[in-house]
């Protein structure tokens, strides 16, 4: 397996992580440290966290982490056999959304909010390729709190890109990234604190 370690750019320049078949651009420290610290506590306390059960091989398992789906479109998010009902956007999520729109140069109307309490919470290999995201979606992913490693793996060549997603960073995936690559946040035995991730998307209104 070919492994590409993505090195962080020295001057804080946005960095393209994918060598081909789509784009994943990492912007470090896009959000100010004081803002992310406050936003993290506010979100942790105020988000109506849910731990849905996903269906694998006909059996139900609780998802390894908590999350919620926010959108004012009323569209629910269906994946892995579960339906996430729409909670309204909040002022704070909207503040993040507007910044993501300006950096990514794309529109977003929805966000999946994920909480990783420690290294045991994870998201296994998948692509954000559900029909409601559209065929070549642009997805803006904000990281708050503890650093976690994010892996991308090409479906055919199996080439892997690994990168640390730090507090205040923004990863913008677009083009063929959800068609040709899968991604994960793997479990880790290293002691890590909690992390919140916001993935902004544009879904079709009902
Ligand atoms: O936590 C992350 O950085 C990734 C989350 C993710 O892939 C998703 O919500 O679809
Ligand atoms: Mn994803």
Q: Minimal CA–CA distance to 91: which of 42, 49, 45, 50?
A: 42
Contacts with 37 (C-beta within 8 Å, 6 or more apart), sequence order: none
Contact 82, 109 (CB under 8 A): no
71 lines ligand 1 (CB under 6 A): no
Most informative mutation of 50, 108, 199 for ligand 1 (most atoms within 8 A of CB): 199
**Residue ranges per structural domain of the chain:** 3-201
User: Domain 3-201 sits in which CATH superfamily?
Assistant: Alpha-ketoglutarate-dependent dioxygenase AlkB-like (2.60.120.590)
Q: Minimal CA–CA distance to 68: which of 44, 48, 92, 88?
A: 48
Q: What is the pLDDT of residues 103-159, one digit of tens each?
A: 999 999 999 999 999 999 999 999 999 888 999 999 999 999 999 999 999 999 999
Residue 54 pLDDT: 80
Residue 12 pLDDT: 73
The 8-class DSSP code of residue 156 comes to T
Nearest atom of ligand 1 to the alpha carbon of 141? 3
Residues with pLDDT less than 50, the chain = 1-10
Residue 1 pLDDT: 39
pTM: 0.92
């Amino acid at each position: 397996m070919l492994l590409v370690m993505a090195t962080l750019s020295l001057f804080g320049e946005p960095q393209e992580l994918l060598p081909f078949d789509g784009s994943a651009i990492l912007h470090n420290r896009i959000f100010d440290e004081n803002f992310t610290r406050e936003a993290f506590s506010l979100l942790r306390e105020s988000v109506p966290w849910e731990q849905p059960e996903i269906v694998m091989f006909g059996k139900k398992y609780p998802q390894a982490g908590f999350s919620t789906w926010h959108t004012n479109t009323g569209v629910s998010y269906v994946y892995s056999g579960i339906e996430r009902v729409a909670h309204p956007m909040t002022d704070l999520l909207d503040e993040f959304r507007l910044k993501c729109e300006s950096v990514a140069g794309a529109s977003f109307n929805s966000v999946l909010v994920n909480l990783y309490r420690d290294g045991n919470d994870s998201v296994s290999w998948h692509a954000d390729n559900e029909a409601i995201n559209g065929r070549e979606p642009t997805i803006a992913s904000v990281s708050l709190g503890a650093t976690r490693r994010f892996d991308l793996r090409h479906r055919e060549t199996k080439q892997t890109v690994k990168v640390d997603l730090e507090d205040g960073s923004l990863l913008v995936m677009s083009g063929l990234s959800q068609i040709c690559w899968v991604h994960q946040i793997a479990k880790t035995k290293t002691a890590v604190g909690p992390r919140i991730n916001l993935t902004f998307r544009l879904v079709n209104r009902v």
